[in-house]
Amino acid sequence: MAEVTLLTTRGLCRDFDGLRAVDDVDFTLETGEIHAIIGPNGAGKSTFVSLLSGRLRPTAGRVIFDGRDVTRLPAHARVRLGIAYTFQITNIYTSMSVAENIALAAQSRLSPGLFGRGGVGPRITEATQAAARAVGLTERLNARAGDLAYGHQRLLEIAMGLALSPRLLILDEPTQGLSDAEIAGVTEVVRQLASRATILLIEHNMDVVMALARRITVLDRGAILAQGTPEEIVADPAVQAAYLGDGA
């Protein structure tokens, strides 16, 4: 089956006070894949995905999603088109329940500003339950989010992304700070989610990257150093020198 391009960037750049954090990046993401972005600290990974999600505006270049130029669209408009971005630092409402957190995300998609009106309430409930089920949080829907173990908080964040019914789900360091057992659980959840959405994964844990990614892009100093299959990336001398060889 021929690959279908979901997202591309052309000449994408972002400057901060004269420092170029993302440097002329041409990138392609195919529908249905798990694509990992790796690189040393400060390589521009989070800045790059913030440009994709609309949290930041590029200094130059274009972002094309499903054939549409979304370069100037803000984040909330991109969410409506199907781009969801879960943050590197857990972004949940700790005083609210798991269900309430997920429902807020579902509301923003199904009925922004009109929670529960016009017969939308049952649809929000259905979306909340489906997202919780997908990440294994059904038994914790009534729990206070702030009382969850850190690993379950990361799963809640993923569930909130899923409640947006994304075509593209961007996961920024989903296993950061987790135990080995928690990492295994999150890895399996992400693998299962690939049947529902295209996954763009920013991750330092190379065991997780190798277990999940079909293709990998390596960023270094804001530019693409290499792109390819996991096997090609591991064997690339430039990647070894810049990243893999330093024990990261």
Q: Are residues 186 and 227 in the same domain?
A: yes
Q: Which residues have CB under 8 Å from 58's CB, separation 6+?
A: 12, 13, 14, 22, 51, 71
220 has a pLDDT exceeding 90: yes
In a domain, 89, yes or no: no
Q: Do 30 and 60 have their domain in common?
A: yes
Q: How far apart are CA 102 and CA 87, in angstroms?
A: 15
Q: Are 6 and 168 a contacting pair, CB within 8 Å?
A: yes
Q: In terms of domains, do 75 and 4 share one?
A: yes
What would the pLDDT profile of 128-170 be if each residue is shown by its tens digit?
Answer: 999 999 999 999 999 999 999 989 999 999 999 999 899 999 9
User: What pTM was estimated for this model as a whole?
Assistant: 0.88
Sorting pLDDT into bands at 50, 70 and 90, what band is 242?
confident
So what's the pLDDT on residue 133? 95
Give the residue among 194, 198, 166 at the shortest CA–CA distance from 31.
198
Q: Do 72 and 176 have their domain in common?
A: yes
Q: 140, 164, 188: which is the final residue of a domain? A: 164
Q: Is 5 helix (H, G, I), strand (E, B) or coil?
A: strand
87 is a domain residue: no
User: Containing domain of residue 176, as a range?
Assistant: 1-82+166-248
| Band of pLDDT at residue 121, cut at 50, 70 and 90 | confident
For residue range 33-71, list pLDDT tens digits in order: 999 999 988 899 999 999 999 999 999 999 999 999 999
The pLDDT confidence band at residue 122, using thresholds 50, 70 and 90, is confident
**Is residue 103 left, alpha or beta, with left meaning phi > 0 and alpha meaning psi from -120 to 50?**
alpha
For the chain, how many structural domains are there in total? 2
